[in-house]
Every structure is written in C-alpha cells, then in structure tokens.
Structure 1
Amino acid sequence: MTLGALVDAGVEPGLILSAIASLGLPCELTFETVRRAGFRATHAKVLAPEEQSHRYLRQIEALIEKSTLTPRQRDLSLKIFHRLGEAEAAVHGIDLNRIHFHEVGAVDSIVDIVGAAVGLESLGVERFESSPVPTGVGSVKAAHGLMPLPAPGTAELLKGIPLAESSVRMELTTPTGAAILGTVCERFGPLPAMTIESIGLGAGTKDLPTQANILRLFVGTIELPSGADRVWVLETNLDDLPGEVVGYTTEQLMAAGALDAFVTAIQMKKNRPGVMLSVICEEPRILDLEAIMFRETTTLGIRRYPVSRHKLRRKAVQVETKYGVIRGKLGWIDGRPPAFSPEHDDCARAAATHQVALREVSEAAYEAYKLSATPPDVTTG
C-alpha cells in the first residue's frame, strides 16, 4: 500500500523498478489502477515464487549493499530492516545477529521495504508525519501459529506510537508497515496545517465491507514562521571511549562544518555511564559529519532526524572600548529592541593583553554598545 501510494502521489515507477531489479531477486513488481469501495487507487503487486527458507539480517544487508541504491536509499532500507530485526530480537529473546526473518524476509517484503525507501527518499521531503495507526482486531496466522492482533512483532514496533481504534477484523498494520512508519515518521497526530500539492492512494489487496482499503499519502508544504528553518540532528551513544577522543571528535565535527557539537551525560545499558554525542548540521553536511563520527568513535549506528528552529535576526557589529575594538553580534525579533553579545575570543584576547579580568572587558563592551547609536535597520526590521 505504501508503494502504491508513493507512485500514485507522483513518484516515477521506473525509479523503484530499477532499484528492485538491482537486488537480483526472482520477482516482478507491477502497478495497476484499481477501485476500492468506489475510490480509485494504485495497487502495487509483487509476483514471486514461494520460498521455504528464511533470511538472516546479514543476508538482507548483503543484498542491499550490492544493489544500485543511492547511499541515502541504502541507509533508509537498512534502518527499516534493523528496526524490524530489533523488534524480532526483543519478542523472541534472541540476539539480533541470530534472528532469521519469516514473512518480512520473503521476497515481497524485501521489495516493499526497499521500494518504499527509494520512493520516500525520491520525494525529497524534509519531514514525515502520520495519523494514529489502526491495527485491526482478531487474529492472524503466521509462521509461529495463530496470534492476536496486533501481532507481537507489530506491537513491539508500535511502542511509543499512538494507535487508532478500529473494528475491522483483519490485520490492518503489518510488521513491514509498522517498521516503515516508525523509522521515517517524526510525529503522529492530525493532519498538519499545510498546502497540499499531491495525494497518493495506495490500495490494499482485499475489498472491505465497512471502509475503503486505502492508504492516503499527502505531499505538501508547511509555511515556517519568519526566522525559522530546518536543520538536522545526528546522535550516538558512547560508553567505551576516553574523554580525550570524544573531545577531539567534537573539534573535528565543528571544523567540518557542524553548526554545533556537544555531549550529554547519560546512563546506558547495564548501568554503564556514558555520553550522547549530538551534532546539529545542515542537510548537505550529514554524510561528511557521519563519516567523521564513524571514523573517530566506536559507534555502530547514528540516529538522524530533522528539527525546526526559530532564529533571531542577526547582524555583526563592533564597538570601541578602552581595551580596543571588540566585535559582537546583535540578535532581535521584529518590533523588539536588539540584544548585544560580544565575541568571547575578542574579549579574552583583550583581557590577556591588558592583564584584566575577562568580565571587565565584557562589561566594557556592553557599556560601549549602550552608548552607541542602534543601527536603523535593526529597529525597523
């Protein structure tokens, strides 16, 4: 249904078909227009021979690594499969590397996940959100026998995600669908205020008597308030590195263009103290900064997610003090007086030169600013 909705919303089918072909799996993916409860939608159909064996995570990773997917498409595909693997490991109490996938390791599920990753990445959007998730009621027959809905793996994947009430007696959310949603969506709730640009309708296989078996995908834009933009946060937890290495890594990240890099003390598994290394950056810097984090630390994975930020309008200024010229910044919101902040490096240099306390230089800079005329373009916005 995700694949159908993506193509229906405007994703070029050839992009998905080419990516799937590069996996080398014995399958055929087709898209057709159908009707569900009177509504037109796109149905994605995977034709593949029935398989008796199951795949381990490392086998699926190998398929994806040798494909022609772009780095971002591979990264998203692997994140979804790792999320599935972690859920299966938690449910069965088995190490992640020993998990062999049943239904989600079959060809059609691999096609669903990789195709969804390609389609979602090709949309080029900054943020994904979803309504609360209906799971359906009743039971489903799976490799481990008859299980109540939501199935254990699906329930594990939906931790922290709000569920929607549903009386439909069938599985409405599969582990694959839950893994995709849980990996890409940042928020679950009502449709946000947005300008809709396209709508994709992905059809399920069955016709339901009480509702249309359709997944809707809205693509649009959200107007950010004045002074707002979006940046990315990269995070990883560390508990086996000397502090000197962590400090060196933050220096390397800042030198490579991070907007900010910092560490937070955290408590990790088995009561081990550790730190969370966080990096704030613009999207074009993500891969370069992640490469530094992988190179300099022992991390096996990095979380990444976009965030919006509200910034003051800024202007560089300088003031004349008895300790010399001190540079600084003005920050303001339209209609309010600006705030002045002297540059620390200038103040420290002047304090060392004149053998006075750092705070004396900073106070002198503040006083010099108060006595200066406020630039007219700041007060008028």
Structure 2
Amino acid sequence: MPRVIYFDCFSGISGDMALGALLDAGLSLDALREALRRLNVDGWDLNAMREVRGPLAGTRAHVIAPEGHVHRTLDDIRAIISTSSLPAAVIERSMRIFAILAEAEAQVHGTTVDRIHFHEVGALDAIVDIVGVAAGLDLLGVEQVFASPLPLGAGWVRSAHGPLPIPAPATLAILASVGAPITPDETPFELTTPTGAAILAALATFRRPPMRLCAIGYGFGARQMERPNALRVWLGDPDEGEDASRQRGLVLLETNIDDQPAEQIAYATDVLRAAGALDVWCTPILMKKGRPGVQISALVTADLEDTAVNLLMRETTTLGVRRRSVERHVCDRDIVEIATPLGVARVKRKRWRGELIGAAPEYDDCARIARECGVPLATVYQMVMGRLENGATKC
C-alpha cells in the first residue's frame, strides 16, 4: 500500500534533518547510499549517527563532500540528476525541488533562472541532501507528503552573498510561492533553511492527514539548542475511514474571456471534456470597462494539467490560465437499468459512506423513451422512479 508521511516541523527543517528523520523512521542507510550512487558523481559519503539530545533519541545524518566552493547552474544540476539511473519519480521530485530553489533565487536577486548560480544549495552535499530525501521517500513507498506550519527563527545568517536576515530571503520567497503557513518563533537561529523550505514547497500539502501510524522518526540538526533541534516525521498508511471520499491531486484551471464567439467557447469546453477533464463549466462575469465575459473553469487531475492548459491556450483567446490545487469529496455511484412498460432506462444511484441517499434517471434514456412513445418527459421520469422504488431493476 502506498504510504503517507507528515513532516512535523516543530523546530523547522533542513536537508540533513529531513534525511536523518527518514533514516530514523526506518529507511535503510545502505539502501539510501546505493540509490545515491546512481547519481554517477564521486567525492561524497553519507554517515548517520544515533544520538540522544535532552529527552529525545534520534538520528543525525551528515553528508561529507569537501569539494570547496563550486557554483553550479540549474542546468548543471539538471544534467547530473537527469543522466543518473535513479527511478523516474526520484528524478522528477528532485528536479522540482531545484526548480523551486532556482525561481526563488532569481526573484531575490532580480534576475532570471538561467542566470542563477547556486552557492550553498549547488554544492555536492546539498545535492546529496535533496536527492537523498527524494530517494528516501521512494524507498519508503511514500506517495503523499504533508507538513505542519513552519517556524522560521530570527536574527542573521552568513551566506555567500554576506550576512542575510533570518528568515533568508530565498526561504521566504519559496514559502510565499506556495502560500505555506508559518508559525511565530523568535528563536535566534535559522530554523527553516532554503533547502528544507524547497523540499516541502515542492512535495508537501500543508496539513495533517488522516493516517494509521507505522513509524516515527527524529532527525537532528547540527546546531545544539536548549530545545530539541529536531524534525519529526510520522510515517503511515492512508486512513480509509471517513476520509476515503476525498479526492486529492486535482487542479482547478480558470481563465476569463471577453473577445470570443460563444460557439468557439462551447467547442473549447467540449474538447476539454473529451480530453478527460473531470468537470468543465462557464460562469458569466463582468470584466474591465463593463464588458460582459465568461470564466471557463476546468477541474482536472494533476497528470492532465499540461494537456488542459495547452487546449485552453490553443482553443481560446486567453493570454493566461490561473491554476490552484484543490481537493473534493465524492460520493460512490453506480448505474442500474430500470425496466418500464415503455422501455429500459438507466438510473444513477448515489451512496455516501455506504448509505443510499439518492438516485436520478439518465436524461438521454428518458428523452429517447419520451420521443419514441409520444409521452411527456416528466411522465417517463415519474414512471422510472416509481419502478425503482418498487425494486423493478432489469439487472
């Protein structure tokens, strides 16, 4: 069964803390080393030590990579990761984390992603941290990642650019890009690093999930503090109880149109449905200068997002498409056929948490019967529902 993990960041998160927590929760150090060797880069080693700090026992992970001041671009890092023999899911997760880091660095320094040279996070130890977390999640069978609100700390931190205020500008840019929740914390140290922030921004949903716990892990940071400088992870199986109705991994796409004929908009919605969109709808809106327009909305699965955006760009006059991740609750449904004196019609039955709470005749079937028999559509509906209530199903 695919597993879920919850990053409980009561003292923040960094790359090495995340690695240590995964190892403490049961990830094999040997298996992780073997996976990281598929990067085809030399000059690093990974150690893990069990420690006790105050009331807590946990694991301190330490990447040894004395390569000096190496500044890599995003393309350099992509080349290292994409040419490895790591699983596709690990490559994709790792690239996503570095892309978020690059976008934040570009924003902070007022430049573009292709001009960014990573300093601290481009070093080999940071690459091993990030790819190690992605590989560790894969080895543990984790498909869904969740996280708590993040404490950030206060004060100043040294960087390749000189002293920076805490939270580091890149950390704030990363967290702002996904609307991550933060919690007030004036501890005079950096609690959440850019690497830790990027891992969660790229992979996590910021809430505590329903789950059945299997293991807990504590990963220690390098700094000794009065309170435990640790990251806690909760590893478990998805709870299949009342939350089973919730569908995750959905994306809502929206765009506003005020300069396109109605029949072309109708065609665009038909194409989106044919491509596999879960739902497509149009909403009348009033746009700038008092012009009437229409908002096209499409609910799609994450793997269909690129296809749907491409269709919207090509089939409408839009110049941009908004997107946001959403979830939805859905009822269980089934179809039964109802035999009536006038013909057979299908009925969709609705169940919520095992209880039958509704049913609706299929319009196309009822309309066909009404036309063929020359009776009002409402009469067919009443006949079908009456037969359903009496248990007269065909199959």
What range is the shorter-chain TM-score in? 0.7 to 0.9
Kindly tell me: are residues 311 and 46 of structure 1, through their superposed partners in 2, closer, same or farther at Cα, counting changes over 3 Å? same
Output aligned runs, 1:1-381, within 5 Å: 1-25=17-41, 26-159=43-176, 160-188=179-207, 194-208=211-225, 210-221=226-237, 222-225=239-242, 228-234=245-251, 250-251=272-273, 253-254=275-276, 260=278, 262=280, 277-280=298-301, 286=303, 289=304, 307=327, 309-312=329-332, 314-320=334-340, 322=342, 324-333=343-352, 338-350=357-369, 360-361=376-377, 363-374=378-389
TM-score of the two chains, using structure 2 as the length reference: 0.75
Kindly tell me: are residues 110 and 163 of structure 1, through their superposed partners in 2, closer, same or farther at Cα, counting changes over 3 Å? same
Once residues 336 and 327 of structure 2 are traced to their aligned partners in structure 1, the CA distance between those partners, rounded to angstroms, is 26
Aligned residue-pair number: 354
Once residues 255 and 23 of structure 2 are traced to their aligned partners in structure 1, the CA distance between those partners, rounded to angstroms, is 40
Shift of 1:154: 0.5
Shift of 1:5: 0.6
| Structure 2 counterpart SS, 1:197 | strand
Once residues 314 and 342 of structure 1 are traced to their aligned partners in structure 2, the CA distance between those partners, rounded to angstroms, is 12
Q: Confirm or deny: 8 A CA contact 1:46 1:108 kept in the other structure.
A: yes
Once residues 61 and 323 of structure 2 are traced to their aligned partners in structure 1, the CA distance between those partners, rounded to angstroms, is 30
Kindly tell me: are residues 24 and 130 of structure 1, through their superposed partners in 2, closer, same or farther at Cα, counting changes over 3 Å? same
Deviation string 1:287-329 (CA, Å, 9 cap, x unpaired) is xx57866997879x9989684624145452324264x322121
TM-score of the two chains, using structure 1 as the length reference: 0.78
Q: Confirm or deny: 8 A CA contact 2:254 2:323 kept in the other structure.
A: no
Deviation string 1:131-155 (CA, Å, 9 cap, x unpaired) is 2211111100111111110010011
Kindly tell me: are residues 315 and 296 of structure 1, through their superposed partners in 2, closer, same or farther at Cα, counting changes over 3 Å? closer
Q: Confirm or deny: 8 A CA contact 1:319 1:368 kept in the other structure.
A: no
Deviates further, 344-353 or 78-87: 344-353
Shift of 1:350: 4.3
Deviates further, 242-251 or 7-16: 242-251
| Amino acid corresponding to residue 180 of structure 1 in structure 2 | I
Once residues 68 and 155 of structure 1 are traced to their aligned partners in structure 2, the CA distance between those partners, rounded to angstroms, is 33
> What is the aligned partner in structure 1 of residue 6 from structure 2?
none
| Structure 1 counterpart SS, 2:173 | helix
| Structure 1 counterpart SS, 2:158 | strand
| Structure 2 counterpart SS, 1:178 | helix
Once residues 266 and 36 of structure 1 are traced to their aligned partners in structure 2, the CA distance between those partners, rounded to angstroms, is 60
Q: Confirm or deny: 8 A CA contact 1:314 1:331 kept in the other structure.
A: yes
| Structure 2 counterpart SS, 1:83 | helix
Once residues 120 and 281 of structure 2 are traced to their aligned partners in structure 1, the CA distance between those partners, rounded to angstroms, is 40
Shift of 1:8: 1.1
Deviation string 1:220-263 (CA, Å, 9 cap, x unpaired) is 24343176254532566789xx9699557635533xxx7x2537
Q: Tell me, which stretches of 5 or more residues in structure 2 are unaligned?
A: 1-16, 257-263, 286-293, 315-320
| Structure 2 counterpart SS, 1:68 | coil
Sequence identity percentage:
34
Kindly tell me: are residues 173 and 304 of structure 1, through their superposed partners in 2, closer, same or farther at Cα, counting changes over 3 Å? same
Deviates further, 331-340 or 22-31: 331-340
Once residues 163 and 219 of structure 1 are traced to their aligned partners in structure 2, the CA distance between those partners, rounded to angstroms, is 22
| Structure 2 counterpart SS, 1:145 | coil
| Amino acid corresponding to residue 214 of structure 1 in structure 2 | A
Q: Confirm or deny: 8 A CA contact 1:315 1:331 kept in the other structure.
A: no
Shift of 1:126: 4.8
> What is the aligned partner in structure 2 of residue 270 from structure 1?
none
Kindly tell me: are residues 122 and 266 of structure 1, through their superposed partners in 2, closer, same or farther at Cα, counting changes over 3 Å? farther
Larger RCO, structure (CA 8 Å, separation 6 or more): 2
Once residues 150 and 377 of structure 1 are traced to their aligned partners in structure 2, the CA distance between those partners, rounded to angstroms, is 67
| Amino acid corresponding to residue 161 of structure 2 in structure 1 | H
Kindly tell me: are residues 127 and 335 of structure 1, through their superposed partners in 2, closer, same or farther at Cα, counting changes over 3 Å? closer
| Structure 2 counterpart SS, 1:79 | helix
Kindly tell me: are residues 24 and 333 of structure 1, through their superposed partners in 2, closer, same or farther at Cα, counting changes over 3 Å? closer
Kindly tell me: are residues 66 and 315 of structure 1, through their superposed partners in 2, closer, same or farther at Cα, counting changes over 3 Å? same
Q: Confirm or deny: 8 A CA contact 1:319 1:365 kept in the other structure.
A: no
Q: Tell me, which stretches of 5 or more residues in structure 1 are unaligned?
A: 268-272
Kindly tell me: are residues 316 and 15 of structure 1, through their superposed partners in 2, closer, same or farther at Cα, counting changes over 3 Å? farther
Q: Confirm or deny: 8 A CA contact 2:349 2:356 kept in the other structure.
A: no
